[in-house]
Amino acid sequence: LAACSSAPPQATQRATLQAASSAPWPAAVAPSPQAPAEVGNELRVLVFRGGSAARLGHNHVLLAGDLRVDWAAGGPVLRFRLDELAIDPPEIRERLGPAFASVLDDQARAGTRANLMKA
C-alpha cells in the first residue's frame, strides 16, 4: 500500500480506530457503561492509488467484518482485528464501479496482505 499512497480525500468526520487488543482502555476512551457495544457492523476502507507509482498500482478495498463500536465519552471507538481484514473482495470491488474494475487474483491479494501486515 505504501507505493499506492497519496493524500487522502477530505474527510467530513473522523473516528478513532483501535485494533482489538488485550490492553486496558485509556480512561478517555473507555466504553460507556450506559451504551452497549454495537457488534456485527462492517467497515470498508477505500485506498486510492496515487503518487509517482500510481500508474503501476490499483485501488484497494479493505473490509473489516465483525466491527465492534463502543461509544466512549469522546465519541465512537471502532475495533476490529487487522489480521482478519478482507483484502480486495471481488464482490465488493464489482459493486464499487470503474475505479475498482481491475480484477485481482489471489496472489495479488496475498501480496497486499503481506505488505499491510509488515507495515
For residue range 56-68, what is the model confidence (pLDDT) as tens digits? 889 999 999 889 8
Q: Is the pTM of this model over 0.85?
A: no
From residue 1, give the alpha-carbon distance in Å to each of 13, 75, 119: 23, 28, 9
The answer to whether position 12 is within a domain reads no
Predicted pLDDT at 10: 43
The answer to whether position 101 is within a domain reads yes
E strands present in the chain: 16-19, 38-47, 60-72, 75-80, 86-87
Q: Which residues of the chain have pLDDT under 70?
A: 1-39
The answer to whether position 49 is within a domain reads yes
- Please give the tally of structural domains in the chain: 1
The answer to whether position 70 is within a domain reads yes
Q: Which three cell numbers stand for residue 67?
A: 466491527
Predicted pLDDT at 65: 87
Q: Which three cell numbers stand for residue 48?
A: 486510492
**Residue range of the domain that includes 83:** 34-118
The answer to whether position 42 is within a domain reads yes
Helix, strand and coil content of the chain, in percent to the nearest 5, comes to 30, 30, 40
Predicted pLDDT at 36: 62
Predicted pLDDT at 108: 94
The answer to whether position 16 is within a domain reads no
